[in-house]
Amino acid sequence: MSERYPKSVPVSPDNPAIEKDEDICANCSHCLAVCAEEIGVAQPCKVTGADDFTCIHCGQCAAACPERAIRAKSQLSDKGARGGKLPWL
């Protein structure tokens, strides 16, 4: 497996908190910077894939993404508290 230096936070498809659209990611490294420098999770070293990265599901990378390539997943369903559609959908 080839090693690489990441430019963005790897997001696994089964991440419960965030999702990432690789098509609009500009590889600006804002997400990686906030994760490594402010949250302290991402290590400034080589990673060989998403399996080597430990996400704590804080969502700060989504907040730092200027392209909105990383977004927080909604914790709400499409049903309201009374079982009906939410009024803004």
Token pair for 2? 């080839």
What is the pLDDT confidence band of residue 45, given thresholds at 50, 70 and 90?
very low
Residue 20 pLDDT > 90: yes
Residue 86 pLDDT > 90: no
d(CA 5, CA 46): 5
pLDDT given for residue 9 in this prediction? 83
State mean pLDDT over 76-83.
54
Residue 78 pLDDT > 60: no
Q: What is the DSSP string of the chain?
A: ---B--SS----TT-SSEEE-TTT-----HHHHIIIIII--S-SS-B-SGGG-------HHHHH-TT--EEEPPSS-SB-TTSSB-TT-
What is the pLDDT confidence band of residue 60, given thresholds at 50, 70 and 90?
very high
Q: How far is CA 36 from CA 17, 22, 87, in A?
A: 18, 20, 39
